[in-house]
Amino acid sequence: MSDDLYKQNLWDKLKKFTSARIAIGRTGSSIPVHNSLEFKLAHAHARDAVYSRLDVDKLNSELTRFNLPVLNISSRASYREQYLQRPDLGRRTDDVSNEILQANKGKYDIVIVIADGLSATAINQNMIDFLASVIPMFKAAKMQLAPICLVEQGRVAIGDDIGAALNARLSLILIGERPGLSAADSMGAYITFSPKQGLTDDSRNCVSNIRPQGLPIHMAAEKIFYLIRQAFRKQLSGVQLKDDSDERYFP
């Protein structure tokens, strides 16, 4: 086997483990045409994801399977361009939503918040399957669930407003992540114990890249359930809560 063929075989093996653009070769002084076209298509998918919208009617219909009330919530960002230019507005619920939340205040262990973030596509494609995996775990553990909150134009920190307003001990927000050039459908999950206004990102735990080609949904559900149980046991979340769940398999 020639050195060039041997090196190519090594690169081909590495390609199986990443969607990154590695070893794409070249044509003259440029990359091959089909790779250039794939890059442009990926860039278009990323732009589309940023401006995508939650399929609210479909999601509301599909959420009925979990036998939990669903609250439709909006942030203070009125339209997409404002949401992108004013991140602060996406972190707070608007006045109408505040009234809805106050009317549903109770005593809950967990509130599940679903927000479009920077890729509603990720939520439209992955959220229902994820909830179908994780909600039975919560119910089996006898955790009291608040109404599910479906948020348009929401940022991660809006889970603090919602959790505090509903009087939930912990908020779990599922949100579309910033799309990259190899993943426009990546969903993230953020866990915050004792949510309240003014918390910073060091108060949260994040599980990222939840999608079929990334972190599989069933594995993400198990990891998040483990972290939430640990959060309740230790009464905290964020940098002080370490994810040592893999030690169960690789001690």
CB 64 within 8 A of CB 154: no
Q: Which residues contact 119 (CB under 8 A, 6 or more apart)?
A: 49, 50, 52, 176, 177, 178, 179, 184, 185, 186, 187
Dihedral angle sign, alpha carbons of residues 21, 23, 29, 33:
negative
96 is in an annotated binding site: no
Tokens of 89: 């507005």
Contacts of 138 (CB under 8 A, 6+ apart): 109, 110, 145, 225
Which letter does DSSP use for residue 73 in this model? Answer: E
On whether 156 is known to bind a ligand per the annotation, the reply is: yes
Nearest to residue 150, comparing CAs of 124, 175, 114? 114
* Contact assessment for residue 175 and residue 126, using Cβ atoms and an 8 Å cutoff: no
The CA radius of gyration of the chain, in Å to the nearest whole number, is 20
Cα–Cα distances (Å) from 167 to 8, 101, 109, 145, 201, in that order, read 57, 10, 9, 11, 20
177 annotated binding-site participant: yes
Tokens of 174: 């599922």
- Displacement of CA 24 from its chain's centroid (Å): 30
Residues paired with 111 in a beta bridge: 171
- Which residues participate in the annotated binding site for adenosylcob(III)alamin? 156, 177, 206
- Which residues participate in the annotated binding site? 156, 177, 206
